[in-house]
Amino acid sequence: MKAVLKAPNAMLNYNSGLVNGFIGIIMFSGSMPATRAAISSFDPVFLTVARASIAGILALTVLLFFKERLPSKADLVRLLIVAFGVAVGFPLLSALALQYITSAHSIVFLGLLPLATASFAVLRGGERPKPVFWIFSVLGSLLVIGYAVYQGLRATSPIGDVLMLGAIILCGLGYAEGARLSRTLGGWQVISWALVLSLPLMLPLAFILAPPTFTDVSPAAWSGLAYVSLISMFIGFIFWYRGLAQGGIAAVGQLQLLQPFFGLAVAATLLHETVSIGMLAVTVGVILCVAGSRKFAK
């Protein structure tokens, strides 16, 4: 664990970035099913502030234990962007979306994350992937969009899809901004400081919005809260931001196209949600796009 907690080398290490990024994706793959389980007993807004508060307290403890230096004033704005994207925006919008759609359906949207992350990497990180990279990345995203539109036409309400799209955009921003900071501040330090900065707002809201009693909370909901607080919100980011910083935001970010595959497996296994042939076909399609886009990421 100590090796993971060290600040990343300034020079990009693509292979190490892929390994760390893949570990992060595996951890993130259970996020949507865990959120779905948690909102069976918890209000989505309370879940958002609770998970950020739990992760923030853990992050503060780790920062104090390792006696980390305070971030510079120039880093504070960027850390706030990270917090807004991954600690507040994505968790809140995705939890609200899961009131209208299944976790299996929401997972397909995660195939849009690589395009969102790569776009913000260009806008804010100065990366310039090859043109062919964008062809594969856009193709994978179009598969996801096409599937979502097809499903939306048959659904009673498109609200869940719109909320998930907003969640993806904010998450891509948080991923790209955090990866930039990770190159100088360190991967685990970035997510830790972002969570600590959000703690003065999240912690009071957690107490204000807490349900009057927890006696009716199911074990599955408690497990979901624990997973999204510890794994999705903190530990997964240690590996993910390190991987993005080492291997390049656009390049390693394409690993996110694998997340729907693992997420669908979790949703089908633990939540017994139906995984349709269409979901599998789209997932296989975006996985193939990973191979193509990864080759031309640099």
Q: Is residue 213 included in any domain, yes or no?
A: yes
Say what the pLDDT of residue 11 is.
44
Q: How many Å apart are CA 61 and CA 256, to the nearest integer?
A: 29
Q: Is residue 1 included in any domain, yes or no?
A: no
* Farthest CA pair distance, the chain: 55
Say what the pLDDT of residue 8 is.
43
Say what the pLDDT of residue 270 is.
80
Q: Is residue 260 included in any domain, yes or no?
A: yes
Residue that has been written with the tokens 């694998």 in this structure: 258
Give the domain extent around 142: 11-295
Q: The tokens of 164 are what?
A: 């998930």
Q: Is residue 4 included in any domain, yes or no?
A: no
Domains: count for the chain: 1
Say what the pLDDT of residue 99 is.
92
Say what the pLDDT of residue 147 is.
73
Q: Find, among 205, 173, 178, the residue nearest to 193 by Cα.
A: 178
Say what the pLDDT of residue 226 is.
97
What's this model's pTM, rounded to 2 decimal places?
A: 0.84
Q: Is residue 6 included in any domain, yes or no?
A: no
Residues in the chain with pLDDT values less than 50: 1-3, 5-12
Q: Is residue 3 included in any domain, yes or no?
A: no
Say what the pLDDT of residue 66 is.
93
Q: Is residue 150 included in any domain, yes or no?
A: yes
